[in-house]
Amino acid sequence: MGSDRTLYSTRTTYATGPAPATARALPVAAAVLGLSSRLMGQGIGEHGEDTERMPQMGHTYRGGPPAPAGPVEAEVPSAGDRAPDAPCHRADGRRVRLFDLQRGGHWTLHGFVVRPRPPHPAVRAVSIGGEIGGEIADTDGHARRAYAAADGECVLVRPDGHIGIRSHDPATIAAYLRSALPPAP
């Protein structure tokens, strides 16, 4: 019977411990619950430092399998971190957020003051410049500050909204994608 299997499965899980994916999720869940508990005890406008963490909830894969090893600076969004959002403008002056450009389950390559060439058909390349007239204008510098990006740097955002890799070197980004995606047709 189905209920016997469910009971057995539940007992097996408790006896053997959480599955690896669950084990990775537990610290994130604990942090989210702690943050939400603190916020529920505060009035509107009294959130202080927690306000910065609310949209991202501090979730990261830094040091895990989806993030390549490399230098990591604490204050710079790095491989494995949730990609930040920022308000920008389209070439015609309409407002757009970086999250809008990343929506749709595809890889997105943000090029800061550079027009990146998509290294794979599954990647959407977006050029982010400083003035209206380019593909995406970062008129107030929000995107540059959010990513702590240098001119000519590219940041690859995975379909799950986390940074895959950031580099000035297109070959480094292409090598990362070769390990993450099937060969292009």
Which pTM does this prediction carry?
0.65
pLDDT band of residue 159 (cuts 50, 70, 90) is: very high
Strand order in the sheet with 154-157: 95-97, 87-90, 136-137, 123-129, 107-112, 154-157, 163-167
pLDDT surpasses 60 at 138: yes
> Residue 34 — very low, low, confident or very high, per pLDDT cuts 50/70/90?
low
Average pLDDT over residues 110-124: 93
pLDDT at position 164, please? 93
Using DSSP, state whether 156 is helix, strand or coil.
strand
- Which amino acid is it at 148? A
- Residue 94's pLDDT band (boundaries 50, 70, 90)? very high
C-alpha to C-alpha distance for 88 and 73, rounded to whole angstroms: 25
Mean predicted confidence (pLDDT) in 130-152: 87
Looking at the predicted structure, is the pLDDT value of residue 146 above 60?
Answer: yes
Q: What is the mean pLDDT of residues 140-149?
A: 94
Does residue 165 register a pLDDT over 80?
A: yes
Query: Is residue 32's pLDDT more than 70?
Result: no
